Amino acid sequence: MKSLEVHLRALRDTGRTALVPYFMAGVTPDWTQHVAAAVLGGADAVEIGVPFSDPMMDGVVIQEAAQRALSAGTTIDTICSELTGTSLGAPLIAMTYYNLFHHYGLRRAAGRLAASGIVGAIVPDLTLEESDEWRSVCDESDIATIFLVAPSTTTERFERLARTTQGFCYASTRMAVTGRAIGEGDATRVVESVRRTSDVPVYVGIGITTPDQAVQAAQHADGVIVGSALVDTILNGASPADTESFVRSFRRALDE
Amino acid sequence: MSPHPNFMGAPSSTGHFGDFGGRFVPEALMPACLELEAAFIDAWADPVFVDEYRTVLQEFGGRPTPVTYLGRFSKKFGVEVFAKREDLAHTGSHKINNVVGQTLLTRRMGKSRVIAETGAGQHGVATATAAARLGLDCTVYMGELDTQRQALNVFRMELLGSTVVPVTSGSRTLKDAVNEAMREWVACVDDTHYCLGSVMGPHPFPWMVREFQSIIGHEAAQQLTQRGVGVPDMVVACVGGGSNAAGIFAGFANTTTRLVGVEAEGGAAVSHGSPGVLHGMKSMLIQSEHGQIEEAHSISAGLDYPGIGPEHAYLAAAGRAEYVGIGDEDVLVALQTLSELEGIIPALESAHAVAWIMQEAGRSIPRGSTVLLNMSGRGDKDVAQVRDILRGRQ
């Protein structure tokens, strides 16, 4: 079992709901300070977005953040250099599109991520069917490969994805790209579908923008992921202190 | 004897053509891709569906399109050139072949709505046309920059009852329109089919669109046989995503004919690109040293795409087809030359293929060779742009 999953299972055993904020690396010069602030505010793990020119799964907020980060010259190497040697106090999970790893070289990418302290990877456009090679190089570097499930996922795919995902299973409860909270979502059914096959932790994401929504989602799941709502505040000039209090507001709501 | 009996057959069960193709989409879209694959396989094996597809293309689409011998052009350049006249098909290009197939399939899957991406507007207009005929709701995503450059096509789509959504993300051109259509598809996949316009995207699109376009090559092969030309020495077609080229190559893939795809120099994914993953497929892409997708640049909006269909990437890697680049200047000359010599104003896209023949006649195309040129579209949509460029130089 990958280190990340050992860690997140132990966290679940304490009864705490995991809180996982998402940051776009390189979006501001002080982005690592935002990450550190989020951990101070009560984050249990942090997603580090690696900017890609064509983010097919992302709504306008993450798109804008990616463009800003790219304009600032952000690359896998700059991100890993900035992370290397820093101790942020929570597991870091890279999230990006497959082309960046493919272009960098899969084995080289996994090694570079691991060397800079990253322990998991979410690649939303890498389907289970295409993932063998990536999973195998991640095995060499103790990087957990995290898969998504969606409301449209079929029974047979729920089983395969729940068996294959490592660290946690990312349950997208809405049929939408990031940042679009359309409709009620279907957390119960999606989360339960994973649990029928596996006892891997299940975290809910996509469209969670307020502490109240996080609390609702957490009724069914082991953790919640907050992305666009947080990135939006940073695009609008939030300081690391603002990020800390933003994350803390979610933490308090989840702990009540 | 066919030297390569297996070219342009079905891809592997996971949608691979050699190392290329496959499916790289969010999990939310995987069930829709699988459903589409099953529906297409079922429909394409159903004589009733195939018959309706052919009948609609005949009675509505204007097929079969003729093959025209380009007499004065041939004499001037010393090669025997025959043009497959997709420019005479309904809506002015080969795009109608694909959208007729996909909209019939949409209805067969019980879906009531289509979305599409478009660059210059040709595929958008074709989709709007086919959707109107079947009473399907239709929304077309078009880069904001392209809606300005091709304002008339926006109006055409609206006349046909479609909604055009300007895409303001990224470079505001074709690749961003594809991204946005994919994002929207996630939110409406239950009742909506994504009518992709070229031999690209996740499996089964590259295969399915090639099959719907292969009517071009099969017709042309028959027409050339009937007029005693037989198998031509060479087949030449322009390539953006590559649907017209795939369609005409399909009629000749298992002969010894030389197959040539002509890309825009500023969007030459095979010559200047490297393997990568974009828009649901693994193929050849124009990208930066860090793997960021770069913008293509071409005088023709229809070739303004930083990738190429995965089967073309495979045909190139396997050495079955070759891909070359042609610059904007040569394209303008070719458009004028063909117009003056043959009374055919080609689309800027198709003019790339014309330009390559003009460049290579007597060089890599031996004198007297028979060449089949795919005249993929008519130039009406481009005349204002060409006029502005040429007048600007006087």
Domains of chain A, with CATH numbers? 3-248 (3.20.20.70)
Is there a contact between A127 and B274 if contact means CB atoms under 8 Å apart? Answer: no
pLDDT, average across residues B333-354? 98
- Taking only the tens place, the pLDDT of each residue in B38-52 is 999 999 999 999 999
Q: Which of A174-183, B333-342, B368-377 has the lowest mean pLDDT?
A: A174-183
At residue A189, does pLDDT exceed 80?
yes
- Look-up: residue for tokens 């409301």? A151
Is there a contact between A56 and B175 if contact means CB atoms under 8 Å apart? Answer: no
Interface of B with A (CB under 8 A): 14, 22-32, 169-170, 175-176, 179, 182-183, 186-187, 189-190, 274-280, 282, 285, 287, 290-294
* Per-residue pLDDT, B169: 87
Distance CA A230, CA A238 (A): 9
Is there a contact between A175 and B187 if contact means CB atoms under 8 Å apart? Answer: yes
| Token pair recorded at residue A169 | 């299973």
Is there a contact between A177 and B292 if contact means CB atoms under 8 Å apart? Answer: no
Catalytic residue among A5, A44, A47, A244: A47
Residue B291's φ and ψ, nearest 5 degrees, are: 85, 15
- Taking only the tens place, the pLDDT of each residue in A81-119 is 999 988 889 999 999 999 999 999 999 999 999 999 999
Buried b / exposed e across A8-40, counting CB within 10 Å, b at 16+?
A: bbebbeeeebbbbbbbbbbbbeebbbbbbbbbb
- Judging contacts by C-beta atoms under 8 Å, the chain A residues touching residue B26 are 56-57, 124-125, 148, 150
Q: What is the value of ipTM here, to two decimals?
A: 0.95
Are residues A175 and A214 in contact, defined by beta-carbon separation less than 8 angstroms?
no
At residue B394, does pLDDT exceed 80?
no
Distance CA B260, CA B386 (A): 26
- Judging contacts by C-beta atoms under 8 Å, the chain A residues touching residue B191 are none
Which residue in B25, B187, B291 is closest to A99 by CB distance?
B291
Burial of B300 (0-12, 13-18, 19+ CB in 10 A): buried
Q: Is B37 a catalytic residue?
A: no
Is there a contact between B187 and A130 if contact means CB atoms under 8 Å apart? Answer: no
- Taking only the tens place, the pLDDT of each residue in B138-178 is 999 999 988 988 889 999 999 999 999 999 988 888 999 99
At residue B208, does pLDDT exceed 50?
yes
Q: Is B339 a catalytic residue?
A: no
* Per-residue pLDDT, B1: 40
Work out the percent of chain B whose per-residue pLDDT is above 70. 99
Query: Would you place residue B4 in the very low, low, confident or very high pLDDT band (cuts 50, 70, 90)?
Result: very low
* Per-residue pLDDT, A185: 66
Burial of B327 (0-12, 13-18, 19+ CB in 10 A): middle
Q: What is the largest CA-CA distance in chain A?
A: 45
> Looking at CA atoms only, how far is residue A10 from chain B in angstroms?
28
At residue B132, does pLDDT exceed 70?
yes
At residue A57, does pLDDT exceed 80?
yes
Q: Is B76 a catalytic residue?
A: no
At residue A191, does pLDDT exceed 50?
yes
Which residue in A54, A58, A150 is closest to B293 by CB distance?
A54
Which residue in A54, A127, A147 is closest to B179 by CB distance?
A54
Classified as helix, coil or strand, B287 is: strand
pLDDT, average across residues A146-167? 96
pLDDT, average across residues B106-115? 98
CATH topology of domain B16-57+95-208: Rossmann fold (3.40.50)
pLDDT, average across residues A141-169? 96
Query: Would you place residue B87 in the very low, low, confident or very high pLDDT band (cuts 50, 70, 90)?
Result: very high
Averaged confidence pLDDT in chain B: 95
Query: Would you place residue A183 in the very low, low, confident or very high pLDDT band (cuts 50, 70, 90)?
Result: low
DSSP string, B310-332: HHHHHHHHTTSEEEEEE-HHHHH
Averaged confidence pLDDT in chain A: 95
- Judging contacts by C-beta atoms under 8 Å, the chain B residues touching residue A159 are none
The residue ranges of every structural domain in chain B are 16-57+95-208, 63-93+214-391
Work out the percent of chain B whose per-residue pLDDT is above 90. 89
CATH number for domain B63-93+214-391, candidates 3.30.750.24, 3.40.50.1100, 1.10.579.10, 3.40.50.300: 3.40.50.1100
Which residue in A63, A126, A157 is closest to B24 by CB distance?
A126
* Per-residue pLDDT, A184: 61
